Amino acid sequence: MECLAEAMTKNHEDGKSADLLYAFQSYALDNVTTFCWDSSMNAIVAPNFSSPIIIALNTSVLGHQLFKNFAPIRKIKLGLPTWLATKSSPEMAGVRHLQKTSWKIV
């Protein structure tokens, strides 16, 4: 919790407001990845708590229903090479990074 408080204090000192949704999501992501893999994603230190992983997770929620109901589309999208997936959907770069990182750790 100290990391979150320090990051929010730094934002306050810089005269910036903090997006609490992103702040708490970043804190949660860092805690879960540290607990599971003993390696943090360091989302809490991203400027304005806008880590590419957090942005990608928030934007991918919209496509979740499509992926859930149409498995072939999900398989195609997740089967694309990283460079092509990122080019077709830049916000997915964070999700691809999370996938790569998790595979390296496991």
What DSSP assignment string belongs to 37-51?
HS----GGGSGGG--
Answer whether 30's CB lies under 8 Å from 6's CB: no
pLDDT of residue 105: 60
Tell me: the pLDDT tens digits for 45-56?
A: 998 898 888 888
Distance CA 78, CA 58 (A): 17
pLDDT of residue 30: 92
Mean pLDDT of 25-49: 90
pTM: 0.68
Treating both helix axes as pointing N-terminal to C-terminal, what angle do 93-105 and 52-69 enclose, rounded to 10 degrees? 90
Judge whether residue 31 has pLDDT over 80.
yes
pLDDT of residue 78: 75
